Amino acid sequence: MKTPSRIAPLVTDGLVDKVLRQLMSGKEAMVYVVQCGDEIRCAKVYKEANKRSFRQAVDYTEGRKIKNSRQARAMEKGSRYGRKEQEAAWQHAEVDALYRLAAAGVRVPTPYNFHEGVLLMELVADEDGEPAPRLNDVVLSDEVARQFHAILLRQVVRMLCAGIVHGDLSEYNVLVDSEGPVIIDLPQAIDAAANNNASRMLERDVDNLAAYFGQFAPELLTTSYGKEIWSLYETGKLHPESELTGAFEPEETLADLNEVMQIIDAASDEDAARRARKEAARLGDLSG
């Protein structure tokens, strides 16, 4: 096929030999199958902000590190330079996340290069070498559904141990190759420690998995893995091989009645003192 203009610089620089075909068009990017020497890879071409259908970017970008104060100010002002830098940061988020997650043992596509807004990465393939199907296109038995659910929960835990929450995980962002599920689409990945939305998004990711696999294994619909995982993370007890039960009971702490009474008494004393000062001031005015 004709080389898309955004991929042309990679061909010029020798990173891509030729574009074989378009693989898919998503809400964030266009993905092409490309020839790179003896290997077949993917080229993910990110869409510009005004052409993306993905919204609520502020929830995802909170806590992301900015290179310098000039970039931060420009992003806040929304200048042309600021918008350009914001786009670059959005794209780099996926590249950085892929490298970190691959190093942490999470099943994600291997990244090879990022050039001119195009991410060159592994083509996740099935046994025949064809692009692997998405999870939502795979017919599952109840047994395989439970198996895949357990695998993906373990991946979510590994991601969180690496400090990352996917933020948009569902059956549409998972491929299935000959070895099982592979997590994809990470430009909205968030920093678990720096983003105030992290716990909510982690729970949503996990609930999405339960809702999908629960169609095949209904018992998964009543689990609380998201809250359990975040609780372990918050208390510093989460590690890649943490045993999960799917049950979560929030700790109920009894109120210290003595402390409560002390607070009430202190407030009452302060109120009495305030009233006394006000009355003294009034009497002073009258005598004057």
Active site residues: 168, 185
- CB of 42 within 8 A of CB of 51? no
Buried-exposed string 214-249: b where 16+ CB fall within 10 A, e elsewhere: bebbeebeebbbbbbbbbbbeeeebeeeeebeeebe
Percent of the chain as helix, strand, coil, to the nearest 5: 45, 15, 35
Looking at residue 44, the DSSP 8-state letter turns out to be E
Q: Which residue has the tokens 């299935």?
A: 176
- Give the integer Cα–Cα distance in Å for 169 and 167: 6
Reading the block at residue 193, the tokens are 């420690």
- Give the integer Cα–Cα distance in Å for 36 and 19: 9
> Apex CA 178: angle with CA 172 and CA 182, to 5°?
35
CA 59 to each of CA 156, 167, 207, 236: distance values in angstroms, whole numbers, following the listed order: 19, 9, 18, 24
Q: Exposed (0-12), middle (13-18) or buried (19+): which is 104, by Cβ within 10 Å?
A: middle
In sequence order, which residues have a C-beta less than 8 Å from that of residue 139 and are 6 or more positions away? none
DSSP string, 100-114: HHHHTT---PPEEEE
- CB of 104 within 8 A of CB of 159? yes
